Structure 1
Amino acid sequence: MSARLFYSSFLLLALTGCSVPGKVTSSAALTCAAGEAMQQTTLYFGLNRPRGQAITEAEWQTFVDKDVTPRFKDGLTVFNAKGQWLGNDGKLAREDSKALMLIHATDRGSEQGIEALRAIYKQRFAQDSVMRVDTPACVAF
């Protein structure tokens, strides 16, 4: 089962039951009653390599320390996740994953940083894809 199909299936399951109150195309169009309009980006990283060898916790932490943190110094959140999907062969497949949530301005630097992370992870760990989900958010501290 390809990672692309896994992440597409995961996204469809995650969005089931969600409704959008009106059309919001960017955080700039979002009016916040409290806080500041920002963007929430969640990236989903599979932890299995194509030949089955798992990406270790140490390898993941090195990626966070050396690649993620320098690009997003203001903060980030990592969740352990369990993805699953129905393979083309009709069998249920499962994969441990990491979800990385970033709250950031809608600007060129953030966009470039996010896309760099996706490219680095795919290349370093032989991944087909890294799913990206963007959501406008009102943020207050």
Structure 2
Amino acid sequence: MTLKMGYAAIALAFALSGCTAPTQKSAADTQSCKADNQMQQTTLYFGLSRPAGKDITPQEWQQFVDNDVTPRFRDGLTVLDARGQWLGNDGKVAREQSKALMLIHGKDAQSESNIEALRNLYKSRFAQESVMRVDNPVCVQF
């Protein structure tokens, strides 16, 4: 019986030897992107429910995009419909319709200023506690 267990242990060791944990991208992989193609992707998540009152309408959202977002990011942007949820302070899961705004931009002071202006404008105009922001370096080719 112990001989069979020994063989089983050896077989298991060989089987597992092919399994490795995923590795981080090497510095060479991330540096293979040409300098001209290195950009930043920022995704902002905007909730469409007001704490008190009616939800933000499609017209209000489009006005925000047309009048506030587009002038700051004329090169282009992507808007995605989303559904968000989070755990509230009361311990209950809150859910709401949302919009995800994806921006591809240079990593510069003007872009940073424009993004923060959008976040602050939306929060004040539509009585929002927050606008979530996610940033990632990206390699872009057209």
Superposition deviation, residue 63 in structure 1? 0.1
- Report the Cα offset of residue 50 of structure 1: 0.9
Q: How does 1:1-141 map to 2 (within 5 A)?
A: 21=24, 30-33=30-33, 36-141=37-142
List per-residue Cα deviations over 1:22-79 (Å, max 9, x = no partner): 599xxxxx52446701000000000011114200000000000000000000000000
Structure 1 gaps, min length 5: 1-18, 25-29
Question: Which residue matches 2:16?
Answer: none
Q: Take 1:61 and 1:44, find their aligned partners in 2: how far apart are those partners?
A: 15
Q: Is the 8 A contact 1:85 1:92 kept in 2?
A: yes
3-state SS of paired residue (2:96): strand
Q: Which runs of 5+ in 2 are unaligned?
A: 1-21
Q: How far apart are 1:93 and its partner, in Å?
A: 1.8
Q: Which region of structure 1 is more displaced relative to structure 2, 46-55 or 69-78?
A: 46-55
Q: Which amino acid aligns with 1:43?
A: L
TM-score (norm: length of structure 1): 0.76
1:136/1:36 Cα in 2 relative to 1: closer, same or farther (>3 Å)?
Answer: same
The structure with more radius of gyration: 2
Residue 31 of structure 1 aligns with an amino acid whose one-letter code is: Q
Q: Alignment partner of 1:80: what SS?
A: strand
Distance 1:136 1:42 in 2: 12
> Which residue type is aligned with residue 119 of structure 1?
N
**How far apart are residue 20 of structure 1 and its match?**
8.2
Partners of 1:73 and 1:32 in 2: CA distance: 28
Q: What is the distance in 1 between the residues matched to 2:57 and 2:26? A: 41
Cα 1:32/1:66, change in 2 over 3 Å: farther
Instruction: Tell me the distance in 1 between the aligned counterparts of 2:108 and 2:33.
Output: 22
TM-score, length basis structure 2: 0.75
**Which has more helix, going by share of residues?**
2
